[in-house]
């Protein structure tokens, strides 16, 4: 497995990370815990060292799963988790709440330190300087090693970075969700901050396995409420899958591998974290690290995308309202 560096403080991770959320929450029923452990440990066996979770996933159950799975090789992996967005407390980044969440996360993760701690969503009621200062204190105490922000905009990132260097920004980014390219990615490059795209394969759409007939269970699948996943939007957005498939066929690859290889080709400080809840998905996704896209390939993708107008917002209004651009 190739590695990449997040941030100027030298956080080294596998070039492809693993989003663990789907094993517990968000895109269907939770996996059996033994199956979840098997998938996460299989990812480690295949070279992945970067695992992403959050208190909000479940809530709580995903951190417990990640902690149990990675305990035997804790020192060999990087665990990222998040505070500040959960159903019972809402958006809350008050310093005392951050500390409370960290203590609870440490217990669930069965560890005495968190490698990378993200603010899950920016709290409009707490100055980002206070958040960054709290994380700085936690780093000095040895409970956290690196600081991250999720769904944060350029102004927030810049302000936070002055107080405590930000090692990674985790925003939604993929071949069909490119908002970070306007201000966030250029800022990350200028400040030496790593960028971790979540939903790098379009919350499953870029696999090519979702059709207008696909049904999403509103009780267990967040996509049931996403405008981009209505039957009409799926039908309208299918050309991007056709474009990826066309490129994939020339590379003896899959659409997923091209979608991930495209992200890896954008910047050397980008580390995607696809959600992989089955061992066969691991095998497919990991191959993307070795897929080489030439300048001609990238130009062909850009020209193809120029002819596609994506239908539907990337998230529902409630979640979009919690994100900065």
Which positions are annotated as active-site residues? 57
Is residue 217 helix, strand or coil?
Answer: coil
- Residue 270 CA neighbour count, 13 Å, CB half: 23
Instruction: Supply the angle between the helices 154-163 and 128-140 in degrees, to the nearest 10.
Output: 40
Torsion of CA 194, 189, 302, 294, to 10 degrees: -80
Helices (H), the chain: 33-45, 61-70, 95-108, 128-140, 154-163, 184-191, 231-251, 255-266, 279-286, 295-306, 317-320
Query: Quick one: tokens of 78?
Result: 């990087």
> What stretch of H or E contains 91?
strand 90-91
Instruction: Supply the angle between the helices 279-286 and 33-45 in degrees, to the nearest 10.
Output: 20
Task: Quickly count: other Cβ atoms within 10 Å of residue 7's Cβ.
Answer: 23
Task: Return the closest-CA partner of residue 197 out of 262, 251, 135.
Answer: 262
- Residue 137 CA neighbour count, 13 Å, CB half: 10
Q: Are 255 and 269 in contact (CB under 8 A)?
A: no
């Amino acid at each position: 497995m190739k590695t990449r560096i997040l941030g100027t403080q030298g956080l080294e991770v596998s070039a492809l990370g693993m989003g663990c959320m789907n094993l517990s929450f968000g895109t269907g029923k939770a996996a059996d815990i033994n199956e979840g452990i098997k998938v996460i440990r299989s990812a480690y066996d295949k070279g992945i060292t970067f695992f992403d979770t959050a208190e909000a996933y479940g809530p709580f159950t995903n951190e417990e799963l990640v902690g149990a799975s990675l305990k035997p090789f804790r020192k060999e992996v990087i665990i990222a988790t998040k505070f500040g967005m959960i159903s019972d407390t809402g958006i809350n980044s008050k310093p005392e709440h951050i500390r409370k969440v960290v203590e609870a996360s440490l217990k669930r993760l069965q560890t005495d330190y968190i490698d990378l701690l993200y603010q899950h969503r920016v709290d409009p009621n707490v100055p980002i300087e206070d958040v960054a200062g709290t994380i700085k204190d936690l780093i000095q105490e040895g409970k956290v090693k690196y600081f991250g922000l999720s769904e944060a905009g350029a102004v927030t990132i810049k302000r936070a970075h002055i107080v405590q260097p930000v090692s990674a920004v985790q925003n939604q980014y993929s071949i069909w969700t490119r908002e970070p390219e306007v201000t966030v990615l250029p800022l990350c490059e200028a400040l030496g901050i790593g960028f971790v795209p979540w939903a790098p394969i379009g919350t499953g759409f870029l696999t090519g396995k979702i059709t207008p007939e696909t049904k999403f269970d509103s009780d267990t699948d967040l996509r049931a409420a996403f405008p981009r996943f209505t039957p009409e939007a799926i039908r309208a957005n299918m050309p991007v899958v056709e474009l990826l498939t066309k490129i994939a066929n020339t590379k003896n690859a899959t659409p997923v591998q091209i979608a991930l290889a495209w992200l890896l080709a954008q910047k050397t400080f980008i580390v995607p974290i696809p959600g992989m809840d089955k061992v066969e998905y691991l095998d497919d996704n990991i191959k993307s690290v070795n897929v080489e896209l030439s300048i001609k390939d990238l130009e062909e993708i850009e020209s193809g995308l120029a002819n596609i107008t994506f239908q539907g917002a990337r998230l529902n209004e409630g979640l979009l309202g919690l994100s900065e651009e």
